[in-house]
Amino acid sequence: MKYRQSYWEAELYNQTYDLIVVGAGLTGQSTAHFYKKEYPNTQVLVVDRGVFPIGASTRNAGFACIGTVGEHLADLEIDSEAKLKERIKDRFEGLQLLKSTLGEKAIDYQETGGWELVLDKKIFEKLSRHIHRFNGWMEELIGEKDLYEAGSYNGIPSIYNRCEGMLHPGKMIKRLYQLNRDLGIEYRWNTQISSIEPESGILVIDELLSYEAENLVIATNAFTNQLLPDKSITPGRGYIFVTNELESLEWRGTFHYNKGYVYFRNLGEKRLLIGGGRDIDPKGEETDEFGVNGDVKGFLLYFAEEVLGLPDGWKVEQEWSGIMGFTESKSPVFEKINENCLVVAGLSGMGVALGMQLGKKAASEV
Ligand SMILES: Cc1cc2nc3c(=O)[nH]c(=O)nc-3n(C[C@H](O)[C@H](O)[C@H](O)COP(=O)(O)OP(=O)(O)OC[C@H]3O[C@@H](n4cnc5c(N)ncnc54)[C@H](O)[C@@H]3O)c2cc1C
């Protein structure tokens, strides 16, 4: 429905904001949060195309994690050691900031520890040989001694990381939204930005409606190329399902398998959440459309049944997808287009840990 604004609406809504953030995921809402805290007398607006954020922030697995040995080794094949170390530190500090800003209780944070399961004996030996090296990194980066430890979980060789945990992504976003509303930040839901004019600080919705700001932050993660086609962020769909209540659940904590491509955790006392498997059909999952890929789902069903040995009577009770934004090296894009417009996107599947920290950094740079 297109309409012209009335005199009254124009007078009310056509102000020039100090800051407009596009994208109400964790990154965008955190940007608005820290900006408004720093400059309480400014007008700050967050816009999102959804009735609530519809990307990754409320559709993820809720792992508060800093990376497994297998993930670090895979990352070293596409990024430098210096960059990877910087990212690990950012993930750790991002999680501390998230917990202190929102409160652990409000987001159901639990420090359960995390296990990387390794089914192949040779791969387990290889990963175990690197534990000493990555423990050295962790001591240097986050001050934790002997973080990784080889062992087994339910008879499967595993590497344990005691500093990982889980949270409730819906509660995380709800809490941040409440804090932002209390700070006086404005929101426009159901507002798809169709193009931006970074030079003049204008966000175009349609031919009759636009918003204007002194500063713009684009926090649209996987969908950034729709607004800024040269940013080379590749979308990657992630699939998750949750089981019914099980008679017995023998998996408690957070778990990764195959460089982090598969992940699962307990959800309360009786349910299991399991997700991932993008590597089963990498091209098919390189999409910004929500949906379920039968091959990915088939693999995760097999994994749950045959590897995790879920008890008789288990079934999928709920399933969904979310869209991640990947950069080639997995390091996020954090870039000023000009003095007044900044892009922060491409959190490459690590945004629960990185999102708030990056938002805070964006707020300090616009
Ligand atoms: C299935 C899945 C599991 C994951 N599991 C984990 C995990 O366990 N731990 C972890 O650390 N990370 C995980 N992630 C990644 C993490 O969720 C993301 O990195 C993080 O949420 C990114 O936050 P964001 O705010 O940058 O982006 P998003 O949350 O994607 O927010 C972008 C927002 O921009 C809006 N938008 C886009 N285009 C426009 C437009 N043109 N106009 C207006 N609004 C627009 C969208 O509606 C969306 O709300 C997972 C992701 C998925 C999909």
Mean per-residue pLDDT, 319-327: 98
Beta strands in the chain (DSSP E): 16-22, 44-47, 63-64, 114-117, 148-153, 156-161, 165-166, 186-188, 195-197, 202-206, 209-218, 234-243, 254-257, 262-267, 271-276, 316-326, 333-338, 341-345
The model's pLDDT over 84-97, given as tens digits with 9 standing for 90+, comes to 999 999 999 999 99
pLDDT of residue 292: 98
pLDDT of residue 43: 97
pLDDT of 311 above 80: yes
The model's pLDDT over 241-281, given as tens digits with 9 standing for 90+, comes to 999 999 999 999 999 999 999 999 999 999 999 999 999 99
Mean per-residue pLDDT, 108-136: 98
Q: Check: pTM over 0.95? Answer yes or no.
A: yes
CA dist 357 and 49 (Å) reads: 23
Amino acid of residue 80: S
The atom of ligand 1 lying closest to the CA of 52 is: 49
The model's pLDDT over 128-147, given as tens digits with 9 standing for 90+, comes to 999 999 999 999 999 999 99
**What are 117's two structure tokens?**
């399961």
Distance in Å, CA 118 to ligand 1 centroid: 28
Distance in Å, CA 221 to ligand 1 centroid: 6
Ligand 1-lining residues (CB < 6 angstroms): 22-28, 47-50, 53-57, 59-63, 192-193, 219-223, 226-227, 238, 240, 275, 322-324, 347, 349-353, 355
Domains of the chain with bracketed CATH: 12-59+170-232+329-365 (3.50.50.60), 112-162+234-326 (3.30.9.10)
The atom of ligand 1 lying closest to the CA of 191 is: 43
Mutate to test the pocket of ligand 1, among 58, 347, 357 (most ligand atoms within 8 A of CB): 347
Task: Look up residue 331 and give its DSSP letter.
Answer: P
Distance in Å, CA 104 to ligand 1 centroid: 21
